[in-house]
Structure 1
Amino acid sequence: MATFYEAYRAKEFLSKRMLKRKGIVGIGVGYADPKHPNKGAGINVYTDKIGPAAKRRLLNALNAAISIKKTPVPMRLITTGPAFATAAPSAGAITQAEYRRRVRPVPAGYSVSGLNGGAGTAGLIVSRDGQLFLASNNHVLSIDNFHTTPTVQPGQADGGTVANDHIGRLHEFVPLRRVGNNYLDAATSLPRNNRLLDPRYGVDRRTVQGVLLPSVGSRVFSESRTSGRRPGVVESVNTDILVRYGDPYRDLLGTIQFRNQTIIRGHFAEGDSGVVWLQDTSFGGTQAVAMSFAGFNLGTRSISFPMSWFNQAFRTQVAQPGGRTAHIRKINVRGNYKYAQPLTKKELNSIKVVRAARRK
């Protein structure tokens, strides 16, 4: 039976050699058998839609590669289709009317966008030095990976306009890279004033108590612009994955690589980008776990990064009503590879949070 550390080491080895092989979308760490967690850890290989013969060839190649490590780690091939991220919901997308309406002040979970013609989801309301920010994805709040743009709620795809629905502007973001590893698709919007934001979550206006790193098998839930309220489960962590970008970044980025992401099994559709998944705990109430930025074209899973990474990079905290911020409960999971890991100092230094440039 493989440990999660052994599975992580095997994933690192395979990812360097096999991630860009035709048919492979991502490689991560999960349960060897999700129905029987006591069977230990394994490697999840996410694949494009390929035929039985191609799948056998791919599995043989993966087994041949991993045999070099001389550590037996079970492997599962999971057919998902390619991973994609877009801020432009298709015309026929099924949406939840409640989450597409204009709402003031704006809580997490509702439609929002920059002036990119699309719509995503307001992930969470965060705070730094008393200033509130709306947290979501770069590709939801930005237009070109560089310039600032007004933020409207609801998003433009849901009828939002600057004249009637302007709530703020793109403030800071992590530029997405065509070459090298990406860790976050993330940005903040600075509101015109703090009163425009409601530091609570979803239809029930739930107060989030803190952040928790995702762990394999954890049961989570979320509320978002397209899918509304739904459950999910963390299927894999520390997943290296290739994500194809659509509008507004189709020509600018194409397909780019993300490292050590979290895969959550649960419905995800266009317009859900930016959603934050929550977990109810016995020790600390409702915790923010991960922010999704992409999904697979079969719609059954989302690709996310830990919300704690967002707070590390942007130096923010989860905001709460009354000007409070969430109490941070220290749980040491470093070295426990059933969990997503905190960003290392080297990784954090490689993530450049920049201020959006004003147009001249």
Structure 2
Amino acid sequence: MGSMDEREAREVKAQVGDYVRELARHRVHAADVHAAAVPLALGLAPLADGGYGVAVRYRLGLPAVRSIARKVAEQVGPAADVRRTGRIRTLATPGGPAVTPRPPVVTARSLGETGRVRPLRPGVSIAHAKVSAGTLGAFVVVDGRMHALSNYHVLSGTPSAAMGDPILQPGPADGGRTARDKVGELAGRVELEPHGRATVDCAIALLDDPEVDLRYPVGPVTTTAVAVGNEEVAKVGRTTSVTHGRVTAIELDDVVVGYGEELGEIAFDGQIEVESTGGSAFSRGGDSGSLVYREDGVALGLLFAGSETGSENGSGLTYLNPIDAVLDALGATLAT
């Protein structure tokens, strides 16, 4: 089976998905997999000729899943894009608050991803007062008021977080403290169910000061688009700053992401995958919440997770929620 158009690739993906679920009933239970899905993701892989293949992503270390991936590749043939991802995890900074001196206020645009930045801008450290640190991805408007957008696991962290909880910039892991660095309050989130299924990992904070700097390295990002594959993309994040990559898969279902003890592993559907086009990783811990945009400044997705392996340069793969799904779920629009 060679390159397909988008419709054909979706049909093959659906057929293969049924096959995977049938095989999994017999083979995966013994692999001690507790998520709501088999850790084998299927999506559409853009090919060099403009057509599509079937993206097959599986976790290292699970022989039953590796065997299923091999059988799927045999079924699909040359149009199968098979990659071993290793574990996929959220990309907030691990660990609790660091004991550090108060960071200086930073205004230079090339500096300060982990420092205290005023006015607020995309790409800086931010988090709930009881979370370590992630990235302020974008500014959005909800009910006519300015909010900061990031991930659930950055701005909320756990189901026990309450609306109105303080949001700090920088995040606690970067020296943020409630008394001096509060910039807003948790104002909305899309709930995540332990060991459940989801489409988005997102939350918003109502800002104390609505005067913000909307600019990214490419200028303001005020429009969105649906990813079709092979787009050249970039992001600015708390940890790795500005990085560049390429969309390597779209419409990925059953992307199983580790969230730690309280939420366990959650299976995400309809996701976007990016690999770095540079010599280093597209994202690392602390980059969760970054907005990923095309090189022409159109937003495609909200970064939330990454894998250990799977990219051509060996630095792992990055996973995004489609930005339109995020905004729709929150009732938000990008600020202009």
> Per the shorter chain, which TM-score range?
0.7 to 0.9
TM-score by length of 2: 0.80
Of 9, 26, 32, 1:7 maps to 9
Equivalent residue runs for 1:1-360 within 5 Å: 1-18=3-20, 21=28, 24-31=39-46, 34=47, 36-38=48-50, 40-49=51-60, 57-63=67-73, 66=75, 74-89=79-94, 98-146=112-160, 147-148=162-163, 149-178=165-194, 180-195=196-211, 197-201=212-216, 204=217, 206-246=219-259, 250-266=260-276, 267-281=282-296, 286-298=297-309, 299-320=315-336
State the secondary structure of the residue aligned to 1:118.
coil
Q: Deviations over 1:68-102 (max 9, x none)?
A: xxxx77212112211111533369xxxx9631111
Q: Distance in 1 between matches of 2:141 and 2:215?
A: 12
State the secondary structure of the residue aligned to 2:140.
strand
> Following TM superposition, by how much is the alpha carbon of 1:9 offset from its aligned partner in structure 2, in angstroms?
2.0
> Following TM superposition, by how much is the alpha carbon of 1:13 offset from its aligned partner in structure 2, in angstroms?
3.1
Q: Distance in 2 between matches of 1:144 and 1:37?
A: 44
Q: Distance in 2 between matches of 1:98 and 1:209?
A: 23
The code of the aligned residue for 1:229 comes to: V
The code of the aligned residue for 2:231 comes to: S
> Following TM superposition, by how much is the alpha carbon of 1:15 offset from its aligned partner in structure 2, in angstroms?
3.1
> Following TM superposition, by how much is the alpha carbon of 1:130 offset from its aligned partner in structure 2, in angstroms?
2.7
- When the two structures are aligned, how many residues end up with a matched partner? 296
Structure 2 unmatched runs, 5+: 32-37, 97-109, 277-281, 310-314
The answer for the alignment partner of 1:339 in structure 2 is none
Change (3 A) 1:8 1:223: same
Residue identity (%): 26
Q: Distance in 1 between matches of 2:123 and 2:40?
A: 28
The code of the aligned residue for 1:275 comes to: S
Q: Distance in 2 between matches of 1:244 and 1:307?
A: 18
The code of the aligned residue for 1:76 comes to: D
CA contact (8 A) 2:195 2:265 kept: no
Q: Distance in 1 between matches of 2:273 and 2:172?
A: 28
Give me the CA root mean square deviation: 2.6
The code of the aligned residue for 1:270 comes to: G
Change (3 A) 1:152 1:59: closer
The code of the aligned residue for 1:235 comes to: T
CA contact (8 A) 2:40 2:65 kept: no
> Following TM superposition, by how much is the alpha carbon of 1:317 offset from its aligned partner in structure 2, in angstroms?
1.4
CA contact (8 A) 1:25 1:82 kept: no
Q: Deviations over 1:288-311 (max 9, x none)?
A: 111011110234211111111122
Q: Distance in 1 between matches of 2:137 and 2:87?
A: 24
> Following TM superposition, by how much is the alpha carbon of 1:7 offset from its aligned partner in structure 2, in angstroms?
1.4
CA contact (8 A) 1:42 1:74 kept: yes
Q: Distance in 1 between matches of 2:269 and 2:66?
A: 26
State the secondary structure of the residue aligned to 2:81.
strand
State the secondary structure of the residue aligned to 1:311.
helix
Q: Deviations over 1:150-193 (max 9, x none)?
A: 10001111111101110011110000123553010000001123
Q: Distance in 2 between matches of 1:274 and 1:175?
A: 16
The answer for the alignment partner of 1:333 in structure 2 is none
Change (3 A) 1:228 1:46: same
> Following TM superposition, by how much is the alpha carbon of 1:270 offset from its aligned partner in structure 2, in angstroms?
0.7
Q: Distance in 2 between matches of 1:161 and 1:80?
A: 36
Q: Which moved more, 1:9-18 or 1:141-150?
A: 9-18
Q: Distance in 2 between matches of 1:304 and 1:102?
A: 26
Q: Distance in 2 between matches of 1:279 and 1:61?
A: 35
CA contact (8 A) 1:41 1:73 kept: no
> Following TM superposition, by how much is the alpha carbon of 1:18 offset from its aligned partner in structure 2, in angstroms?
2.4
Structure 1 unmatched runs, 5+: 321-360
